[in-house]
């Protein structure tokens, strides 16, 4: 009887072996499909739109995204030669580029920038709202025009660009939006009531819009630069520069590349679970 029981169990053993083999084949096939998907994603270059990309932080961001394998739409308001130089730097890194002049304070210009991206690349994966201006003065001497001009470009311009890109990203159910804010929008800064108000507004918009589109695999984050080396800081007296550096725990002024690195991190496809946040790139000023 014992022998018969052993014989009776042989079909079950063979069946289980076939099931295990079948499961292994399924797992192997699934892994092959996943690898193929990753390969396809890797072979498809992301398309990025960077506003205010002619020089400074915007140029550094555009070049960094090109290094990361993105094609780039380079927007500028004035200074076509500088924008062409940015395009050249991006193309040297293997990117295809499109240069589009436009004022982000004008909704029609924003729509034109987005249309240029769609026509050139058929997609918009990354939007970096970097364009901005300053009109510094103490509040009692600041004109209404200087206040409104900064609000129109630095805050309303972000709204205009996000709204223009929304149909593309929502339809595709994918996007990475990075808004360039400032520590001035967190701490406030004397002589920059308009700029501080605009950048604080950008941070608020970032949080609100992140909640609206999170379920569609679209992330919306902000980067808040601290003191960054620019043409303005280069023209400052050394004593004034050193005084400002003394307030930075890191002991140095930031570079446009510091900001670009944070933007590239947030623009990556692997950062899909970070949204609605503001990353301060300020050497510790805001901590």
Quick one: residue 48, left, alpha or beta (phi over 0 = left, psi -120 to 50 = alpha)? beta
Q: Please tell me the distance from the alpha carbon of residue 41 to that of residue 30, in angstroms, as a whole number.
A: 17
Q: Which residues contact 217 (CB under 8 A, 6 or more apart)?
A: 173, 174, 175, 272
**94 phi and psi angles, rounded to 5 deg:** 95, 5
Q: Which residues contact 194 (CB under 8 A, 6 or more apart)?
A: 135, 142, 146, 147, 149, 150, 151
| DSSP structural state of residue 78 | S
Q: Which of 76, 174, 195, 209 is catalytic?
A: 195
Q: Which residues contact 266 (CB under 8 A, 6 or more apart)?
A: 176, 178, 219, 221, 223, 274, 279
CB 55 within 8 A of CB 86: yes
Q: Please tell me the distance from the alpha carbon of residue 206 to that of residue 209, in angstroms, as a whole number.
A: 5
Give yes or no: 195 in active site.
Answer: yes
Q: Please tell me the distance from the alpha carbon of residue 249 to that of residue 168, in angstroms, as a whole number.
A: 41
In whole angstroms, what separates CA 264 from the centre of its chain? 6
Which positions are catalytic?
Answer: 195
């Amino acid at each position: 009887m014992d022998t018969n029981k052993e014989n009776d169990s042989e079909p079950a053993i063979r069946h289980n072996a076939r099931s295990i083999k079948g499961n292994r084949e399924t797992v192997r096939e699934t892994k092959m499909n996943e690898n193929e998907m990753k390969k396809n994603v890797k072979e498809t270059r992301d398309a990025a739109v960077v506003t205010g990309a002619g020089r400074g932080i915007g140029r550094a961001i555009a070049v960094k995204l090109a290094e990361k394998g993105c094609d780039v739409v380079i927007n500028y308001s004035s200074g076509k030669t500088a924008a062409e130089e940015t395009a050249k730097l991006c193309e040297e890194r293997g990117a295809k580029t499109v240069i589009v002049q436009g004022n982000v304070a004008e909704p029609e210009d924003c729509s034109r920038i987005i249309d240029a991206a769609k026509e050139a690349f058929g997609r918009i994966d990354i939007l970096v709202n970097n364009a901005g201006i300053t009109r510094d003065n103490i509040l009692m001497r600041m004109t209404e025009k200087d206040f409104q001009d900064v609000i129109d470009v630095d805050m309303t311009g972000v709204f205009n660009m996000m709204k223009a890109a929304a149909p593309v990203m929502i339809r595709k159910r994918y996007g990475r939006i990075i808004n360039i804010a400032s520590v001035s929008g967190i701490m406030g800064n004397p002589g920059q009531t308009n700029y501080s108000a605009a950048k604080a507004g950008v941070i608020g918009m970032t949080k609100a819009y992140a909640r609206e589109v999170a379920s569609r695999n679209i992330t919306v984050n902000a980067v808040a630069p601290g003191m960054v080396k620019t043409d303005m800081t280069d023209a400052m007296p050394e004593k004034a520069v050193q005084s400002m550096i003394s307030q930075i725990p890191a002991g140095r002024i930031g570079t446009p590349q510091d900001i670009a690195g944070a933007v590239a991190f947030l623009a990556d496809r692997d950062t899909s679970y970070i949204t609605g946040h503001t990353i301060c790139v300020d050497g510790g000023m805001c901590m």
